[in-house]
């Protein structure tokens, strides 16, 4: 590998390294020098001990939507914490539900980012993911009606849209702007439209 290729590889993987450090600090709930140093150490260990094929980045970053996504994340952290606190002090058993959320984008990184964002917000967590069909299964507290289930799904899709607008590829951005079909619905439709081969006479 030439020096230029090595530099390009390190540059494209830098966001993953930074994300590991940020994720470590979020998991500990501390933005301190000690958390930063230990996060860097953990990121170095993980990226060298568990080498995986390099994921392809879109190469597109929209700083405006990145800031919007971060601010919205902070607001949802606060809102989720207040909702969980209210559930804790309200008499009775808190309601909960398992919610199936089909995504629209066929991309491992986008699916991972959506899952992490939803799991870090208090009151919801990803308990399973179906990578083949791009479906997340969430455990959510405080759901009391069918309208609440719809709201959870719409909220997850809004997160997907924010992340795509911030760091997604142009094709993913077009899919989000078009709205409508989820990935599994689109795959079923394309499969149904594909002509079936007939036997030659």
pLDDT digits (tens, 9 = 90+) for 67-113: 999 899 999 999 999 999 988 888 888 889 999 999 999 988 899 88
In the chain, % of residues over pLDDT 90: 37
Instruction: Determine contact, residues 73/124, Cβ cutoff 8 Å.
Output: no
Q: What is the mean pLDDT of residues 10-16?
A: 67
Indicate whether 23 and 78 sit together in one domain. Answer: no
Give the SS3 label for residue 27: helix
Q: Which residues are CB-neighbours of 111 under 8 A, at least 6 positions away?
A: 103, 105, 129, 131, 134, 136
Residue 159 has pLDDT above 90, yes or no: yes
CA distance 198 to 1: 49
Instruction: Determine contact, residues 12/54, Cβ cutoff 8 Å.
Output: yes
Q: What is the mean pLDDT of residues 154-182?
A: 90
Indicate whether 106 and 159 sit together in one domain. Answer: yes
In the chain, % of residues over pLDDT 70: 85
pLDDT of residue 58: 58
Looking from the CA of 173 toward its CB, the CA atoms found within 13 Å total 12
More confident call, 16 vs 92: 92
Q: Is residue 93 domain-resident? A: yes
Q: What is the mean pLDDT of residues 143-149?
A: 89
Structure confidence at residue 61 as a pLDDT band (50, 70, 90): confident
CA distance 93 to 95: 6
pLDDT of residue 22: 85
More confident call, 31 vs 80: 80
Q: Is residue 200 domain-resident? A: no
Structure confidence at residue 154 as a pLDDT band (50, 70, 90): very high
Indicate whether 45 and 127 sit together in one domain. Answer: no
Q: Which residues are CB-neighbours of 9 under 8 A, at least 6 positions away?
A: 1, 54
Tokens 């799904």 appear where? 153
Q: Is residue 201 domain-resident? A: no
Residues 177, 178, 181, 186: what is their CA dihedral angle, to the nearest 10 degrees?
A: -110
Q: Is residue 43 domain-resident? A: yes
Residue 191 has pLDDT above 70, yes or no: yes
Q: What is the domain range of residue 67?
A: 58-192
Indicate whether 32 and 93 sit together in one domain. Answer: no
CA distance 123 to 139: 8
Indicate whether 84 and 39 sit together in one domain. Answer: no
Residue 201 has pLDDT above 50, yes or no: no
Phi, psi values for residue 75, rounded to 5°: -60, -40
Indicate whether 74 and 47 sit together in one domain. Answer: no
pLDDT of residue 78: 93
Question: What is the average pLDDT value for the chain, to the nearest integer?
Answer: 84
CA distance 103 to 138: 13
60-86 in b/e form (b: 16+ CB < 10 A) is eeeeebeeebeeeeeebeeebeebbee
Q: What is the mean pLDDT of residues 128-134?
A: 93
Total domains in the chain come to 2
Can you state the angle between helices 146-167 and 63-89, rounded to 10 degrees? Answer: 150
Has this prediction a pTM greater than 0.75? no
């Amino acid at each position: 590998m030439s020096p230029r290729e090595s530099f390009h590889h390190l540059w494209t993987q830098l966001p993953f390294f930074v994300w590991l450090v940020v994720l470590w600090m979020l998991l500990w709930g501390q933005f301190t020098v000690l958390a930063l140093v230990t996060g860097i150490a953990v990121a170095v260990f993980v990226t060298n001990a568990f080498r995986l094929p390099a994921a392809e980045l879109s190469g597109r970053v929209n700083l405006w939507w990145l800031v919007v996504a971060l601010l919205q994340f902070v607001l949802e952290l606060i809102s989720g914490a207040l909702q969980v606190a209210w559930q804790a002090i309200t008499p009775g058993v808190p309601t909960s539900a398992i919610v199936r959320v089909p995504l629209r984008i066929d991309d491992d990184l986008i699916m991972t980012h959506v899952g992490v964002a939803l799991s870090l917000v208090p009151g919801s967590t990803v308990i399973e993911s179906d990578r083949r069909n791009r479906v997340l299964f969430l455990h959510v507290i405080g759901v009391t009606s069918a309208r609440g289930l719809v709201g959870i799904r719409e909220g997850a899709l809004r997160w997907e849209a924010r992340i795509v607008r911030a760091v997604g590829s142009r094709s993913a951005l077009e899919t989000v702007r078009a709205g409508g079909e989820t990935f599994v619905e689109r795959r079923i439709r394309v499969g149904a439209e594909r002509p079936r081969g007939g036997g030659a006479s």
